[in-house]
Amino acid sequence: MSETVQMQGLAQVEKGRSLWQDAFARLKKNKLALTGLVVLIVMVVLALLTPWIAPYSYEEQDLSLGATPPSWEHWMGTDIFGRDQLTRVLYGSRISLMVGFIATSVALCIGVAWGTIAGYVGGRLDAAMMRFVDVLYALPFTIFIILLTVVFGRSMLLLFLAIGAVEWLTMARIVRGQVMAIKHQEFIEAAVAMGMSRGRIMLRHVAPNILGPIIIYTTLTIPSVILLESFLSFLGLGIQPPASSWGSLISNGVETMEEYPWLLIFPAVTLSLTLFALNFLGDGLRDALDPRASLD
Amino acid sequence: MLRIILQRLLTAIPVLLLVVTVTFVLIRLAPGGPFDEERAVPAQVLENLNKRYHLDDPIHVQFGNYLFHLLQGDFGPSFKYPSRTVTEVIAAGLPVTLELSVYALLVAVLIGITAGIVASLKPNSLQDYVPMSLAMIGICLPSFVLGPLLILGIGIGLEWLPVSGWGVSPGDKILPALTLGAGYAAYLARLSRGGMLETLSQDYIRTARAKGLSEWRVVWHHALRGAMAPVVSFAGPAVAGLLSGSFVVETIYQIPGLGRFYLQAAFNRDYTMILGMTILFAFFIIVCNLLADILAIWLNPKLRRNLEKSR
C-alpha cells in the first residue's frame, strides 16, 4: 500500500499536476459535458455583453406594436408592451446567472470553512458543529426564505444571503467527509511529524486534496440556486420589477400563455438549457475527477 | 430499535421548539405592525386592536400564550380576516394539499423507481439511456415550467384534460399530480438506479443467482431491499420539496390548498397565518425526516447494529 502511494507521488513529481491533466482528458471525451461547458460559456459571455449586444434597450416600449410573434426584427417576439423579448431574456440571464454565482459563492465559503474545521479538529467540536447542520437540515428552508422576504421586504441582497445560507449545508457535509478521509493518510502524519503547523497543513495538504469534490458539488449547486431563485421570482417573491430574471419572465409568460405562448417558451427554454448545461457539466466533472463516485 | 426511535423522537422536540421560537421572533421583528394599512388607523382603534390580540403584553407573555394555545391545536385568529381563525384555514387547505402530495408521491415512486430498476438491469444499453435521459429532462424542467407546458400541450392544445380546479371536473387532478411528481420521479429514478447497480454487484446477489433463482426473484426479493437505502434517505427532503412545490402547482392550477393560502398570507402580511402555517410545515417536515430515518434504520440491519453497539 505504502509503495503504491510512493509510486503515485513520484509520478506526480515527474508529470506535474497529472491528476488534473488526467481529469481534463477524461472530461474531453465526455461529449455531453463538453457541450454543457460550451453552452454555459456562451450564456455567460452573452450575459456579460448584454448592455452592448442587446438589440433594443431594456425599457424601450412600443405600445402601438403590442405583443407580436417572433420575427426578423424581434427574434423572440415582443410582450404586451411591445418590449423586445430577446432583450428581456438577455437582461434576465444577467440576474439569474449572477444570483447563481454569488449565492453559490456564499454557500461555498461557509460550507468549506465549516466542513474543514469540523472534519480537521474533530472530537466534540465536530460533533457539535455537525449536529447544528443536522438540525438546520430538518428545517423547511424554502418556507423560511419566503418568511424572510415577508419580514424584511424583497431585496436582492437578502435573496443572495438567504439562498447561500440554505445551500451551504450539503457542502459542509461533503467537505467534512473528505477531510476526515484525508486526515488519517500517511502524508498528513508525515507533515505533522515534521512539525508543520495545523493551518499550514490544512492549506498546503488538505485543501488541494478536497478540491475535486468541491468543484463537482459547486457545479451542481449553481443550477439548484438558479432554480430556487426562479422559483421565488415565479411566485413573485424574488426579483421585483422593473428588474426581471428568468423566473419572473416565465411567470409573466404564464399569465398570457394562451394568447402569446412565445413569451413563456423562450425564457423557459433558456432556463432549462442552462440547467441542462450545468447538470451535464457537473456529472461530467464527477466522472472525470472522481471515477469511483460515478455509480449514482 | 425502540430505543433508537424514542431517542430520535426526543431530539425532534427541541428542533420544533427552535422553529416556533425563531419564527415567532422573526415575525415580531418585521417592520410595521400587522394593522398598518394605506389609510391611517385612528390611535384609539389601533389600541383596541392591540388589546384584543394581546399585542400590548410583554413579548415573553405573548410567546407563552401562543405556545400554550398551540399545544391545544389553536393557531389563533387571522390578523387580516378577523372572522376566520388560522386553524380553520389550515383545516380547509391541508386535506387538499395532502391529497395532491400523496398523488404526486405515487407518481414519483411508481414511475421513478420502476424506471430506475429497469435502467439498472442493463446498464449502458438503450434500456438504460432512454429512462435516464428522460430523468435528466425531468430534473431540468422545474414544475413552474413543466406545469404551463402541460397545460398548453395536453390541456389547451389537445383538450384531453381540464387545466384548473380540484375535484370539480373529472380528471382535473391528473395534471397537477404529474407536474408535482415528475421532478421527484426523475430524482428517484437516478437514486434507485445507483442503489440497484451497487446492490447487484454484491456477493449475496451472486449467491442468489448461483442458486438458480429467476432474475425476477433476485431483483424483487433480494436486491430491492438493499437498493432502497438511498431512496429512503431522499424521502425526508423530498416531502419538504413537495410542500414548497405545491405552492407553484396550486398557483398554476388554481387549487385551493395550503400553498396558495400561504402565499396569499405572505403577500397580505397576515402574520398569524404565516406563523401558524410555517410551524405546521416545519412539523410535517420534521416528522417525515423522522419516519425516513427510522425506515432507513429498519431497512439496513448493519446500520441498526452499529447504532445499538455505539451506546
- Mean pLDDT estimate for chain B: 80
A147 with B190: Cβ contact below 8 A: no
Encode pLDDT of B83-119 as tens digits.
778 888 888 888 888 889 889 988 888 898 889 888 8
Q: Residue A1 above 50 pLDDT?
A: no
Q: What pLDDT, on a 0 to 100 scale, did the predictor assign at position A182?
A: 83
Q: Residue B277 above 80 pLDDT?
A: yes
B262 with A150: Cβ contact below 8 A: no
pTM flag (> 0.95): no
- If you search the block for the grid coordinates 423557459, which residue do you land on? A268
Contact of B294 with chain A, judged by CB distance below 8 Å, is answered with no
Q: Residue A11 above 60 pLDDT?
A: no
Encode pLDDT of A153-195 as tens digits.
777 788 888 888 788 888 888 888 888 888 888 888 888 888 8
Q: Residue B239 above 80 pLDDT?
A: no
Q: Residue A106 above 80 pLDDT?
A: yes
Encode pLDDT of B286-299 as tens digits.
788 778 777 777 77
Encode pLDDT of B152-165 as tens digits.
888 777 878 777 77
Q: Residue A273 above 50 pLDDT?
A: yes
Write down the ipTM of this complex: 0.77
Q: If contacts are CB pairs under 8 Å, which of residues 82-141 in chain B contact chain A? A: 136, 139-141
Average pLDDT over residues B264-282: 81
Contacts of A245 in chain B (CB under 8 A): none
B198 vs A141, A268, A295: nearest CB: A295
Q: Residue A294 above 50 pLDDT?
A: no
Average pLDDT over residues B68-78: 75
Q: What pLDDT, on a 0 to 100 scale, did the predictor assign at position A240?
A: 79
Contacts of A234 in chain B (CB under 8 A): 144, 248
Most B CBs within 10 Å, among A32, A150, A264, to test the B interface: A150
Most B CBs within 10 Å, among A151, A220, A260, A283, to test the B interface: A151
B282 with A250: Cβ contact below 8 A: no
Q: Residue B3 above 80 pLDDT?
A: no
Contact of B247 with chain A, judged by CB distance below 8 Å, is answered with yes
Encode pLDDT of B15-44 as tens digits.
788 888 888 887 777 665 556 655 566 777
Quote the cell numbers at residue B75: 393557531
Q: What pLDDT, on a 0 to 100 scale, did the predictor assign at position A42?
A: 92
Encode pLDDT of B185-216 as tens digits.
888 888 888 888 888 888 888 888 888 888 88
Encode pLDDT of A57-103 as tens digits.
777 777 777 777 777 777 777 777 778 888 888 888 888 898 888 88
A3-12, A257-266, B44-53, B58-67: least confidently modelled range: A3-12
Q: What pLDDT, on a 0 to 100 scale, did the predictor assign at position A77?
A: 76
For chain B, give the secondary structure using H, E and C: CHHHHHHHHHHHHHHHHHHHHHHHHHHHHCCCCCCCCCCCCCHHHHHHHHHHCCCCCCHHHHHHHHHHHHHCCCCCECCCCCCCEHHHHHHHHHHHHHHHHHHHHHHHHHHHHHHHHHHHHCCCCHHHHHHHHHHHHHHHCCHHHHHHHHHHHHHHHCCCCCCCCCCCCCCCCHHHHHHHHHHHHHHHHHHHHHHHHHHHCCHHHHHHHHCCCCHHHHHHHHHHHHHCHHHHHHHHHHHHHHHHHHHHHHHHCCCCCHHHHHHHHHHHCCHHHHHHHHHHHHHHHHHHHHHHHHHHHHHCHHHHHHHHHCC
